[in-house]
Amino acid sequence: MSFDRIVGQEHVKAQIGAWLSAERMPHAVLVSGPEAVGKRHLAVELAKAVNCRRGSDPCDQCSSCLKIDSLSHPDFHTLLPLPSGSAKLDSAQVLTGLREATLAYLQKEEPVLRNSNIAREHIRFIHREMSYAPTEARRRIAVAFDADCMHRAGANSLLKILEEPPKQAVFILVSAHPERLLPTVLSRTQRLHLKPLTREELTRQIMNEGVEAPRAELAARLSGGSLYRARELVEDRDGLFEERRQLVECFIEAGFNGEDGEYWPIAEEFGGRSERGRLEAFLRLCGVYLRDLFMLAEQRPDDLVNTDRSNRTAAWLEKIRPGRIESAALEVDRAFDDLSRNVDSKLILAGLWNGLRHCRRSSPAPSSSRSHP
């Protein structure tokens, strides 16, 4: 079992190989794990493996593999959270809309919009499609991406399918937040849990793609275990990553210096829902810098991520109280929670800003309330 398109995750590949070699493929599988570690693509590769005409490993050459890749296989269906109103489309429009949206979704690792959900009507539609006998393949397969994005009515409809799955049907659920699924849904699935890739796995893969070792190593350190993010970092054709790093460094340094006038121009960078992806990346990078500060405070320079910024990080450490780094890092975690609940971006950044200000050696004791600078 090679699954050549999937880097690492050997424990998951071994489990899939055991299922397929014993011809005991579960009716329902949950592919879980952190954001951007390859869950989406593993789900598609698993679907290809189940129905590959040349064996139990996706060959990427037979008609079944090629049709699943293009989402044109009559026995392969997908569910995806879509904006409100999509459920009112007729059957032909549902299939076309889902196919186009899923193709775009698979080309990137960005989360779906927060006002999207898997409509109950789409689940019922897929249930009807899955109840038919396969037309070209051994199994009919349905993949529900971001399966946790459904209202209770939709979740109950899904549960009914999993309780009495149609013969020769396989359902693959994909979720970074399986705890949001109904416990009864979880109990009816076999889980494949993906882990963040190691720095060594990422560095080796990026170097195999033609990137020089120093840049590959930096991308691996900064990627958080995600091959998608590592590739973004090494490409960075427009200099967006370096621009983001400079913005984060300006934000952190101004916070440590108590320069409140610097807060507002940076906060204005992230106005509106369309900036959610940029704000996530900004917060993630803030967390990386705070982690580096903690590593330096603990005298562990070999564990730094931003190795090319070690002098700047060391200079920051001279300005702050090391014992307060952890509280600032907790503000990053809280910011991600607030972001998932659609809290205003300025309020999110204000909490982190105050956390940075309270790290200063001359700062007053932290306040229990979060307020704007």
Written as six digits, the tokens of 202 are 């990422």
- For 67-112, the pLDDT digits (tens) are 999 999 999 999 988 876 555 555 566 667 778 888 888 877 666 6
Mean local confidence (pLDDT), 209-226: 83
pLDDT at 264 over 80: yes
More confident residue, 183 or 87: 183
Residues 287-304 have a mean pLDDT of: 88
Please name each of the domains of the chain with its CATH number: 10-193 (3.40.50.300), 236-357 (1.20.272)
| Rounded mean pLDDT, 307-319 | 87
pLDDT, residue 341, reads 77
Q: Which residue has the higher pLDDT, 369 or 10?
A: 10
**Selected residue with higher pLDDT from 366 and 47:** 47
Q: Give one word for 258, left, alpha or beta, with left for phi > 0 and alpha for psi -120 to 50.
A: left
Task: State residue 144's pLDDT score.
Answer: 93
Pick the range with the lowest mean pLDDT from 173-177, 267-271, 297-301: 267-271
Beta-carbon count within 10 A of 253 CB: 17
Q: What is the pLDDT of residue 368?
A: 44
